[in-house]
Amino acid sequence: MANINNIQDEIIKEMSQLKKGMGKYLYLINLAKQLTPFKPELKTENNLIKGCQSRVWLASELKNGRMHYFADSDTAITKGVVALLLKILNNQSPQAICNADLYFIKKTDLESELSPIRANGLLSALEEIKNKARQYRRK
Q: Which residues are catalytic?
A: 52
- Which residue in 76, 78, 82 sits closest to 60, CA to CA? 82
What one-character DSSP code corresponds to residue 5? H
Find out whether 37 and 50 touch, Cβ atoms under 8 Å: no
Strand partners, 68: 61
Q: Residue 62: enclosing H or E segment and its boundaries?
A: strand 56-63
- DSSP-derived secondary structure for 79-113: HHHHHHHHHHHTTS-HHHHHH---THHHHTTHHHH
Nearest to 28, CA basis, from 84, 86, 72: 84
